[in-house]
Amino acid sequence: MAPGGSATAGTDRTPPSAEPPSPAPEPVTDLSDLPPALTWRRARAAWPAAVLLLALALWAYAVRHTDVSALDDFGLVTALHPSFWAGLAVLTAGFWLTVRDPARSRLWPGAYVLGLLVMERATQAVLYPTPLYAWAWKHDGVVEHLLTAGELQGAEQVGDMAVYDQWPGFFAAQAALVRLLGVDSAAMYMAWWPLVSSLLLLLPLLLIYRTFTEDRRLIWTALWLFYVANWVGQDYFSPQSVAFALHLGVLAVVLRRYGRTGDRRGQALWTAAIALMAVTIVISHQLTPAMLAATLLVLCLLRRYRDWVPLVTVVSIFLAWCMTAALPFLSAALPEMLRSVGDVGANVSTGYGTTPTGTGAVATSWAARLLSGSVLLLGAVGVWRQRVLRHRALPLLLIALAPLPMLVANSYGSEMIFRVLMFMLPGVAFFAAAALLPTVRTLAGEAREQQTVRSAAPRRRALAAGGPLVALLALTLAFVPSYSGKDRISYFPPEEVELVQRVFDEAGEGSLVVAANRNYPLAYASYGSVDHYWFLEDDRRHVDAIVADPAATLARDMRGVERPGRAYVLFTRGQVANSEMNGQLDGEQLERIRKSVAGSPRFRLVAENSAGSLYELRQDGGAAR
Amino acid sequence: MTPQELVVRMLPPFGGWLALAALALPGGSPLRGAAVAVFLAAGPGVALVGLCAPALRVRPAQGPVDGRDPGFARRSDLLERLMLIVFVSVGAVMIVATVLFATHAFTAQRVLLALTVLTTLAAFCPRLRASPPTPGKPRTGKGSAL
């Protein structure tokens, strides 16, 4: 302060006067008279933005300093720069403090959830130069095939892959998109699909939760928990990702517009909207219409949602498709489907070649199980503790339970348990959030809250505030190993893509590609003209025969290929990772097989790089040698 | 209809014709990608949901039992409309592309053209309105005291 500050300040006091005060500012000579540049109130208003920016800055720093060139059995978990974890923790803490502050703008929790989606679902797209997941590459192959064929084909042309032509909705749209964007293939953008498909879920989930509560803490915490517990990985470039969003869209419309009001006006148009979404689901995916029908049936058990129109609409469309376009597949698969009904043990089993093996695979697998188990447990606690909510949001509880009977019905290629978990999550996440928020704003809940706050000891109150944050942090951090812990299997470096591309560049019609398993990029490229044999999926005795005498056994397996076709053996690092981490052959065994093929006169080396090697069976089968 | 309403109503078909024009740009160009992606994600939905909006609005929406915020239901309706716009657009793209494949008539340009024509027709159609409640027939729910 200037020495003469007080004297100068005294001159500011103007004498009382009838004249209005002059608008001209008086010269300020004392800095203490200036309004503070950053008031406490302003700082308080700005901190959610500051925390969010800090979290995103830490994430951006992390992705710039993460090296994915040598992933170990923990996948991305050990490769990530520590600042990623710090960013995720800061984001979670910021979300929790923001969402619980009633004075905050309602937009901040949404901004934090978007930040979570970026950190969860965009990290891999930024880090990896190629798209993840052999399944995503397979779907890229289906899109390519549709574009090449220009029509839907049957089993006589494409064998087992005809199933995709009988549920073509997603692939047909992607084929159009590839051409309209003018890109080479869907691989150009499919790495970003997890982010896109997760964003698609945002609106229907918000609507569903907003049907049962106005409490934004509950709504946004449920959304947060849904996203962190949805590690199953069905957000990749797949029909399931879009069908699941539409499934939630139908449920949102039914929950909001089909309660018993007695007013039928406008119902025909709402039914048309449901029908359009149902048609889109039905032409795209096999399982989702069944899940949707089961959920709508369960909702009809409630008096307040006993409107059969949505259920009849969905079932009619589903049956119409099954009886026409999908009939070839269903008629072939029906005996097996009927056999699996009631065989719960087999249906929940994840099958041979899916046993996590090695420290990393086991640890990340347990992280995923603990994450799912914790959210299910939290959901049960929420149902038990929130009596009023349990009554008011009973439809959500039923939505959570409706997928369970599917475990009795079918194994869905050893994936049913994961799909059931995913379809349960919207309901489970709501009650799990309620477990973390004991003061849900219902009338009865408020009265109980006030009583609890008055009577609780300070230590207990601190625990009540800190405990949920710790739980939310643990669940959010557990998402990373659950979702990205197997990236050593899922990631295919550019060299691997280049090597496999070499096969299809020179393989003529009728060629055969032999590999240990199908975990490599472009595995389904040209599936209309090039055949495949994945020997680890064969009978165990035959696998043992291959291990005992690799080159001779594989050459025998491949000798049926006729000109102009060629027979190749492909070894890649992705196959080794998949086999090792899922309890099949280990790296040494596969290397012995490769060396046997490399040293055999029956085969010649076609290409080799850091990601693997490619051999071709000589045209005479090596017989002359 | 005010000039402003007319402009809003014509935006989706304009987006479709713009996306068609953008196909003249080189493949992979960001402008072409943006024009196509924005139209496919929202264009048909905006036109079709806009066409049905007055009739859809008459059916009351369920909300929280302890609802106290008058703006909450309005914001939920807005979110619902946004959701329908996106899902109707996605559905339209998937259905049109599938139909063209099934009829051996697929080209991506035809998909875009069909969606643009659909959007244009929907934009020019008069808005659908629900019939007024039948006079003299009070609606009483089961269990009502009336």
Q: What angle do CA A195, A196, A197 make, to 5 degrees?
A: 95
Residues A28-49: pLDDT tens digits?
556 556 555 556 666 677 788 9
Cβ atoms of B97 and B111 within 8 Å: the answer is yes
Picking from A170, A183, A246, the nearest residue to B87 by CB comes out as A246
**A313-329 mean pLDDT:** 92
Q: Note whether residue B134 is domain-resident.
A: no
Answer whether residue B105 is part of any domain: yes
pLDDT beyond 50 at A561: yes
Q: Does B84 touch chain A (CB under 8 A)?
A: yes
The half-sphere exposure of A195 on its side-chain side, counting CA atoms within 13 A, is: 18
pLDDT at residue A117, rounded to an integer: 96
Q: Look at residue A455 in the predicted model and tell me its pLDDT.
A: 55
Option in B64, B79, B141 nearest A214 (CB)? B64
> Which residue from A200, A212, A269 is facing B52, i.e. has the nearest CB?
A269
Which residue(s) pair with A607 in the sheet? A614
Q: Do the Cβ atoms of B108 and A442 come within 8 Å?
A: no
Phi, psi of A225 (to 5 degrees): -65, -35
Q: Which residues 11-70 in chain B show a CB within 8 A of chain A?
A: 19, 23, 25-29, 32-33, 36-37, 40, 52, 55-69
- The residue that leads in pLDDT, A443 or A135, is A135
| pTM over the 0.80 mark | yes
Are A265 and B80 an interchain contact pair (Cβ–Cβ within 8 Å)? no
Instruction: Report the pLDDT value the prediction gives residue A457, as an integer from 0 to 100.
Output: 58
Tell me which of A351 and A2 has the higher pLDDT: A351
Least Cα distance to A152 among B99, B115, B111, B95 occurs for B99
What local confidence, expressed as pLDDT, does residue A347 receive? 61
Give a yes or no: residue B145 inside a domain. no
Average pLDDT over residues B125-141: 64
In order of A270, B62, B83, the CA distances from A265 in angstroms are 10, 15, 21
Interface probe with B: pick from A142, A164, A180, most Cβ of B within 10 Å:
A180
pLDDT reading at A27 higher than 80:
no
Strand order in the sheet with A567-572: A531-534, A512-515, A567-572, A612-617, A603-609
Q: Which amino acid type is present at position B9? A: R
A604: three-class secondary structure by DSSP = strand
Q: Do A182 and B26 touch (CB under 8 A)?
A: yes
pLDDT at A105 over 60: yes
What average pLDDT score do residues A82-90 get?
96
Residue whose structure tokens are 């949102």: A252
- Cβ within 8 Å, pair B133-A265: yes
**Domains detected in chain A:** 47-129+190-488 (no CATH), 134-188 (no CATH), 492-617 (3.40.50)
Contact check, Cβ <8 Å, B56/A441: no
Q: Which residues of B touch A261 (CB under 8 A)?
A: 59-60, 141
Tell me: the pLDDT tens digits for A377-408? 999 999 998 888 888 899 999 999 999 988 87
pLDDT at position A450 is 58
Higher pLDDT: A117 or A17? It is A117
Out of A92-101, A596-605, B67-76, B85-94, least confident range: B67-76
Q: Is the pLDDT of residue A15 over 60?
A: no
Residue B135 covered by a domain: no
| pLDDT band at residue A505 using 50, 70 and 90 as cut-offs | confident
pLDDT at A181: 96
Q: Where residue B146 falls among pLDDT bands split at 50, 70, 90?
A: very low
Contact B106 A175 (CB under 8 A): yes
Among A276-285, A288-297, A309-318, A320-329, which is the least confidently predicted range?
A: A320-329
CA distance to partner chain A, nearest, from residue B2 (Å)? 26
Structural domain includes residue B39: yes
Closest chain B C-alpha to A257 CA, distance in angstroms? 5
Please indicate whether, in this complex, the C-beta atoms of A253 and B67 are within 8 angstroms of each other. Answer: no
Question: For position A377, what pLDDT does the model report?
Answer: 96
Alpha carbon separation from A224 to A160, A295, A374, A430 (Å, rounded): 39, 23, 14, 10
In chain A, residues with a C-beta closer than 8 Å to the C-beta of B83 are 203-204, 207, 249, 252
Candidates B69, B101, B137, partner chain A, best to mutate (most A CBs within 10 A): B101
Instruction: Please tell me the predicted confidence (pLDDT) of residue A19.
Output: 40
Contact between B101 and A151 using a beta-carbon 8 Å cutoff = yes
Helix axes A239-257, A193-210, angle to 10 degrees: 10
What whole-number distance in Å separates Cα of residue A94 and Cα of residue A109?
9
Q: B107 to chain A, minimum CA–CA distance in Å?
A: 7
One-letter identity of residue A34: L
Please indicate whether, in this complex, the C-beta atoms of B111 and A277 are within 8 angstroms of each other. no
Q: Are B66 and A442 in contact (CB under 8 A)?
A: yes
Looking at per-residue pLDDT, the higher value among A401 and B62 belongs to A401
Find the mean pLDDT for residues B95-108: 95
- Residue B16 located in a structural domain: yes
Instruction: Please compute the mean of the pLDDT values over residues A133-158 and round it to a whole number.
Output: 91
Residue A10: its pLDDT value, please?
36
Mean pLDDT over the full length of chain A: 85
Chain A CB within 8 Å of residue B83 CB: yes
Q: Do B57 and A266 touch (CB under 8 A)?
A: yes
Q: Identify which of A214, A280, A443 has the shortest CB distance to residue B94.
A: A280
Q: Two tokens at A95?
A: 């979300």
pLDDT digits (tens, 9 = 90+) for A441-467: 555 555 555 555 555 555 555 556 688
Q: What is the average pLDDT across A11-40?
A: 50
Which of B62, B77, B79, B103 to mutate against chain A (most A CBs within 10 Å)? Answer: B62
Find the closest chain A residue to B66 by CA distance.
Answer: A442
Q: How confident is the model at residue A506 (pLDDT cuts 50, 70, 90)?
A: confident
pLDDT at B26: 95
At residue A2, the pLDDT reads 37
- What pLDDT is stored for residue A160 in this prediction? 83
Q: Give me the residue label for tokens 């720093």.
A: A61
pLDDT category at A12 given cuts 50, 70, 90 is very low
DSSP class per residue in A138-157: HHHHHHHHHHHH-S---HHH
Quick check: A180 and B108 CB within 8 A?
A: yes
B13-34 pLDDT, tens digit each: 999 999 999 999 999 999 999 9
- Taking the alpha carbons of A188, A192, A196, A201 in that order, is the dihedral positive or negative? positive
Q: What average pLDDT does range A306-320 have in this prediction?
A: 92
Altogether, the residues listed in chain B come to a count of 146
The whole-number pLDDT of residue A460 equals 59
pLDDT band for position A476 (cuts 50, 70, 90)? very high
CA distance, residue B7 to nearest chain A CA (Å): 25
pLDDT, greater one: A484 or A5: A484
**Residue B55 to chain A, least CA–CA distance (Å):** 5
Q: Which residues pair with A532 in a beta bridge?
A: A513
- Mean pLDDT of the A113-135 span: 95
Residue-number span of the structural domain to which B80 is assigned: 3-58+76-124
Which residues of chain A lie closer than 8 angstroms to B131, CB-CB? 265
Q: Residue B132: inside a domain, yes or no?
A: no
**Number of domains forming the structure of chain B:** 1
- Nearest CA-CA distance, residue A532 and chain B, Å: 26
- CA A96 to each of CA A52, A322, A517, A526: distance values in angstroms, whole numbers, following the listed order: 12, 46, 44, 49
For A68-82, b/e burial (b = at least 16 CB within 10 A) is beebebbbbbebbbe
pLDDT above 60 for A21: no
pLDDT at A7: 35
Residue B18 lies in a domain: yes
Lowest mean pLDDT among A310-314, A534-538, B68-72: B68-72
Distance in Å, alpha carbon of A258 to nearest chain B alpha carbon: 8
* Beta partners for residue A533, in sequence order: A514
Give tens-digit pLDDT for A217-259. Answer: 999 999 999 999 999 878 999 999 999 999 999 999 999 998 7
Tens digit of each residue's pLDDT (9 = 90 or more) over A344-373:
666 665 555 667 778 888 998 899 999 999
Q: Tell me if B39 sits within 8 A of B114, measured CB to CB.
A: no
CA distance B54 to chain A (A): 9
- Sole residue written with tokens 């509880």: A397
Q: Mean pLDDT over residues A303-326, rounded?
A: 90
